[in-house]
A = this chain, B = another copy of it.
């Protein structure tokens, strides 16, 4: 019996609604499989925790998480309670950084049955490899002067190591997919970091002569995600560019509520973290209508990471069929509840047994 120990952090808002749903699905999958088990331990770290304790997690929080095989996270942040940059940097970004989850992976694909905002979406199936540890998201910088002379400086930090690692990851992934990597750049406007990014991209590309490459400025690329997403396979971008592209990717799928993500630790020293793209959505909390699909698809990415790709494939197939048959929460134009969609996924999984 393989046992996977998973630290579960539902976090804020609808995180608390969709994480239990996806855990339930995982438990059913384990039963179906027969040879594996998931052991979940819940951690109540969220903005309320911050208000009580003055930090988003205990001082030894990272030590506590370290032995787990993976972290399964819902959503973090509730700016009515805690400023976002405090809640996020104190939990989500902190874990990404300290656990060297240097790659953020986010697929986007067209699901039949889900209304896309696009007029004639062709069957797109892309994945964004986002550099997840440095770049524009840096805590280096600060301010000088007060009042009308005030200046804020923000440093973006791009290391050869970090940049190359993300780009190489993208090429390796492309070899298993359609052998096409697009680099998100902005070397026509951003003077130092982006020409550097381009150089590294060109260097790495030389090692993959059988992979087609393309380089696009982020402004144009963001537009292409709207006008021709089907022409992309793997896209690699900096922390910020990857962030922006993946929200557009989620939008063209029909809802940010569907989109999954994985934060991958590549050196095996720390657990990886799996969290959907959506936020905590305080506006719909408590109504039971949060879309569980983002968190469930995220569970599939965790299965892939555990080497259980076959089980992951079973789950994704069921998700596709459930959506196609109209089990849809309001964000994707339906009237089903979180529970109804989850129950249907579970029922169809059980039917496969």
Contacts and interface: CB of A to CB of B under 8 A. Distances in A.
A143 interface: yes
B141 A191 contact: yes
A209 interface: no
Interface in A169-199: 186-197
A77 B150 CA distance: 35
Interface residues of A, number: 69
How many chain copies does the complex carry? 2
Contacts of A117: 118-120, 226-227
A154 interface: yes
Given A186-B240, A189-B88, A195 B151 contact: no
Nearest to A93: B189
A116 interface: yes
A142 interface: yes
A189 B156 CA distance: 12
A346 interface: no
Interface in A232-265: 239-240, 243-244, 246-248, 250-252, 256
A223 B251 contact: yes
Contacts of A150: 159-160, 196
Nearest to A223: B251
Given A137-B191, A160-B148, A252 B226 contact: yes
Contacts of A116: 119
B152 A192 contact: yes
A153 B143 contact: no
B248 A189 contact: no
B227 A191 contact: no
Contacts of A219: 243-244, 246-247
A158 interface: yes
Contacts of A196: 143, 150, 152
A226 B222 CA distance: 11
A155 interface: yes
A122 to B, nearest CB: 11
A116 B118 CA distance: 9
A88 B217 CA distance: 13
A138 interface: yes
B118 A147 contact: no
Nearest to A255: B227
A39 interface: no
A322 B197 CA distance: 43
A244 B218 contact: yes
Interface string A121-144: 000000000000000111101110
Given A150-B160, A154-B156, A155-B156, 10 more contacts: A77-B188, A85-B194, A116-B119, A119-B119, A148-B160, A154-B158, A154-B191, A219-B244, A220-B279, A226-B252
Shortest Cβ-Cβ A-B pairs, 6 listed? A84-B188, A141-B192, A154-B193, A223-B251, A219-B247, A152-B196
